[in-house]
Each structure stands twice: as C-alpha cells, then as structure tokens.
Structure 1
Amino acid sequence: MSIADEIETKFAVKSFDAVRAALAAAGGVRLSRRFEENVVLDDAAGTLRTRDVLLRIRRDAVCKVTVKLPATVPGLDGLKIRREIETEVADPAALEAIFTALGYHPFLRYEKVRETWQAGDALVCLDELPFGRYLEIEGPAASIPGLAGRLGLAMDQALPQTYHELHQDYRRRRNLPPETSFVFPPETRRHILASLAGSL
C-alpha cells in the first residue's frame, strides 16, 4: 500500500514523437507501455464526486484500487496536489462486488494506452485516450517546470481538468451528445492489444 501526495500536471499534445526524442535526450528511460481499463465508482447521489473524492479500480499489468482525496495543499501554478491512497488487489471482480454491496457502483469506465518514462526524479506518462493524446508529469514540485520546459512544454499550457472533464469538453466542442465513459471501439481495442503483445 502507498499513501502519498500526488503532485502532477497534464498537457495536451498532438504527437508523442517529439516528446520521446526529448525524453531520450534528457536521459529518460522508458519503463512500460500498457493498456489500462479503469472503473470509477460512486453512490447514487454522487457523494464522492461532490466531495472531490475519486474511488477507482484500475487494471493493467496488475490491478489496483485507488482513492484520491481533495487537494489540501495549494499547488504551484499549473500543478495539482492530492493525497492518494493505493494498493494492489488480487480479485478486482470481487472488489467491485464489495463496493456494489456498499452502494458504490461504476458510473464511469475509461480506457487508455499509457507509456511511462522515468526522467530523473519524475515520471512522465504518455497517455493515448479515445479522444486525444496527453502527457502527465508526476514528481517533486520543484522538478516539474524544468522538465516540462525540456520537453517543449510551458506551464501556462498545463491543464487542471481530469480526463473525465476533458472528455466532456471534447464532446461539447463537437456538439456530441453527453457520454460519461470513454472506451476504444472494439476493433481499435483489438488492434491496440495486438500491438502491445510482447512490448514492455
């Protein structure tokens, strides 16, 4: 189990090619590239969302349950700081059944391909979602702005929104009907999983 303050920032990017080159030039090391399935839970009244609490089950190489608590420490410009409690889970289906019995049901499912790099004391995540590409930097607050600059990113372009909020913005801008979850179409999902077979 881990309990820590998560300090991160997020950027929208059109392509990962330039970022990968900059990461390699900065001595970054690619750790993994994996497909993720995420389930976010809440009660019927949306109590957790109202309190800015996230309860999530994530499946990739392992399964983890995460609780993210509301920010209690002011962040620097462009940074988000939240307390995060996370642990591995042996049986995600059983855990989801337990939460359901307690009144917490899935209200949002989302998928992404996450490529993770270690760059000094920070983690850089290249996230491909069904509605776009994003980059997250997580690490000490003092390290993030400098690393962002080396990757060609400016802190005044950092995004404070969650992926759920960014997805809602994406749909509104395109006059698409509301949709909470964001998952890849079945054929795209099969292609992604095939391309990831045997990768890091």
Structure 2
Amino acid sequence: MALECELKYLEADLADLAERLGNAGAQTSGRYFEANTVFDRSDRSLKRDGILLRLREKRGEAVLTVKRPPENPEPSALKIFEEIETGVGDAAAMVEALETLGFSPAFRYEKVREKWRYMDCVICLDRLPFGDFVEIEGDEPKVLACASSLDLKASCTTKATYHELNIEYRVAKGLEPDENFVFAPWERAALLDELDKL
C-alpha cells in the first residue's frame, strides 16, 4: 500500500503561486473541477477508525480511494496515510456497489484543483467553497524545501483534512453544522464556465 505524505498551507494566493511555479519551470496538468463523495457505514465506523472511502469524479473520470493511518507511524511534520486508489469505469455502478455493501454517502465536497510538479513534489492549488489552500505531497525534506522555495510560511501549515477545516470554518463563522462543502449552484456554474474556456 502506497504512502501519501502531505502538508497543507493556509492563506494561499493561488494566482501568485501559479505564476511563480510557471516562472520556475514547474509542470502543470491544468485546472479542473472535482466532485467527491465520502462513504461510510450508518454508524460512521470508518470515520471512527480514521478510514476514508471516497469516490472522486473529475474530467469525466472516476477514482475510488481508501485511506487509513499507517500501523506504525513515525513522527513527522506531514500528514501520512496509507492509500489505495483505482480507476472506476462507471461511477454510478460503483455507488450502487458500495450501497449494496452497506455504505452510504456521508458527505460531499467540491474543489477546483490545479496540480503542479516541482522539486520532486506534487503541489495542488485548491479552491474550496470556504477558502484557498496549497497542498504539497512528497517526502518530508522535499516538501519543506519546496515550500521554502515558494515562500510559504511554516506558521501557516496544517495536517488537518479539508473535512476538518470545513468544520472549523463553520464553527468560527457561527454557521450551522454541515459536513458537506460544495459550491453554491451559481458559483459552480461560473467556475465550470471559466474552466471550459481554458
């Protein structure tokens, strides 16, 4: 099982970072829209055990992901998960299969992601309904070196998931609890229109 090692950076200026990455010769696969559904049992036992079961749809493709904490984690500044991913040919059929096995949608979330490769790291510039973030994946020394070269502040890092950050945001803003974080219909339409023109 592969390890996913990452660190998020808050208070991100995505346009500035994209420009600096481009000027530095980083490679990008472009911006795209993602729709994610997280599944769990009715008792939320996957969440309790720190396991994520997610179906992601992007660019007309679907990917099923399972993440879990490593059995013997070593201390790290990064968030580390064991991860299994596989492509899915028919997202609707996969949803039906998961529901047949006793899983149901626990929450949904959306984002616009621009993925870059730089300094042996994967850098994701993410726009979510509640803010902009940078996620850097790689081994710890490379992630920290990459972040330093991009002038990302070490004081603005978090190992929290986007799910956890959404909950924190809603509490801070005095909003009703809601695990979902999706764009408003008008905002989603504008984002998709913008992406179609790229």
Instruction: Determine if the TM-score, normalized by the shorter chain, exceeds 0.5.
Output: yes
Select between 184-193 and 65-74 the one with higher mean Cα deviation: 65-74
- How many Å apart are 1:90 and its aligned residue? 0.4
Q: 2:49 aligned to 22, 28, 51, which one?
A: 51
Match of 2:17 in 1: 19
> Residue 87 in 1 paired to residue 86 in 2?
yes
Alpha-carbon distance between aligned partners in 2 of 1:122 and 1:145, rounded to the nearest angstrom: 10
Does the 8 Å contact 1:109/1:182 carry over to 2?
yes
Alpha-carbon distance between aligned partners in 1 of 2:196 and 2:187, rounded to the nearest angstrom: 14
Does the 8 Å contact 1:127/1:133 carry over to 2?
yes
% same residue? 38
User: What letter corresponds to residue 116 of structure 2 in structure 1?
Assistant: W
Alpha-carbon distance between aligned partners in 1 of 2:158 and 2:147, rounded to the nearest angstrom: 13
Alpha-carbon distance between aligned partners in 2 of 1:191 and 1:13, rounded to the nearest angstrom: 23
Question: What is the aligned-residue RMSD (CA, Å)?
Answer: 1.3
Does the 8 Å contact 1:26/1:150 carry over to 2?
no
Q: 1:41 aligned to 36, 39, 42, which one?
A: 39
Match of 2:74 in 1: 74
**Any unmatched runs of 5+ in structure 1?**
none
**Once the two structures are superposed, what CA deviation does each residue of 1:129-179 show, in whole Å capped at 9, x if it has no partner?**
000000000112220001001111133421111101100100100111101
Select between 21-30 and 160-169 the one with higher mean Cα deviation: 21-30
Match of 2:97 in 1: 98
Instruction: Say if 1:167 and 1:104 are closer, same or farther in 2 by CA, change over 3 A.
Output: same
User: What letter corresponds to residue 137 of structure 1 in structure 2?
Assistant: I
Alpha-carbon distance between aligned partners in 2 of 1:75 and 1:59, rounded to the nearest angstrom: 33
- How many Å apart are 1:19 and its aligned residue? 1.4
